[in-house]
Chains A and B, each alone.
Chain A
Amino acid sequence: QKEVEQNSGPLSVPEGAIASLNCTYSDRGSQSFFWYRQYSGKSPELIMFIYSNGDKEDGRFTAQLNKASQYVSLLIRDSQPSDSATYLCAVIETGANNLFFGTGTRLTVIP
């Protein structure tokens, strides 16, 4: 099984700051990348997807993809306490009909 790696954290940022979450993947041929948010005791929910190199913005969230470096990140601007959750990076690998997940990064936004 190919690898998707994330820093497990915890990552703590003050309210209003930018939170930066990082993910690397091993399959160079991967084409589709996703960020899920998982609140404690809940199931993962999709918040962003990105397919092309560069940045993709959706409200306070920006996903960044660099296929040459096999790196995908999620920036959360103006972080709020309600953003406190575990963020899971997921990758669809070449020819696979399945998502491979990282272990997740626990984010805490301090009021």
Chain B
Amino acid sequence: ETGVTQTPRHLVMGMTNKKSLKCEQHLGHNAMYWYKQSAKKPLELMFVYNFKEQTENNSVPSRFSPECPNSSHLFLHLHTLQPEDSALYLCASSQDLTEGNTIYFGEGSWLTVV
């Protein structure tokens, strides 16, 4: 069991649905991340939050909307997704990476858009 918990682990949604992915970290870290992992592609950074402030938005379509109410919780709100958005969505957390730390992943949320 990791210190980063994601729910749900599996989600199937239609293109007109609205759903949310949830992430909680129990490691006392100050940064949280959303990554997308598709087959045969590198892990793609989507969003970064430091002390609950968004510091990076990697040109992600507006149908993905992040929310970070505090340093321990992170959400990814999903609406009007496309089938190509089907992927593994990974939440991660870390301390400050400039001090030689690294990121720790949750188990991921498998998303299928039908």
A contact residues vs B (CB 8 Å cutoff): 4, 8, 31-32, 34, 42-46, 49, 51, 88, 90, 92, 95-104
Known: A42-B108, A44-B90. 18 other contacts (CB 8 A): A4-B42, A31-B100, A32-B97, A42-B107, A43-B2, A43-B108, A46-B102, A51-B100, A88-B43, A92-B97, A96-B97, A97-B50, A97-B55, A98-B33, A98-B45, A98-B97, A99-B102, A101-B43
Contact in complex: A99, B100 (CB < 8 Å):
no
From A93, which residue of chain B is reached at the shortest CB distance? B97
Contact in complex: A97, B40 (CB < 8 Å):
no
| Residue interface bits B68-89, CB-to-A below 8 A is 1, else 0 | 0000000000000000000010
A97 and B97 contact, Cβ closer than 8 Å, known pairs A49-B102, A103-B40, A103-B42: yes
| 15 sample A-B contacts, Cβ–Cβ < 8 Å, listed by A number | A4-B42, A34-B102, A42-B108, A43-B88, A43-B105, A43-B108, A44-B105, A49-B102, A92-B97, A97-B48, A97-B55, A98-B45, A98-B56, A103-B40, A103-B41
B contact residues vs A (CB 8 Å cutoff): 2, 31, 33, 40-43, 45, 48, 50, 55-56, 88, 90, 96-98, 100, 102-108
A99 and B103 contact, Cβ closer than 8 Å, known pairs A43-B90, A92-B97: yes
CA distance A104 to B45 in the complex (A): 15
CA distance A45 to B105 in the complex (A): 7
Contact in complex: A46, B104 (CB < 8 Å):
yes
Contact in complex: A97, B98 (CB < 8 Å):
yes
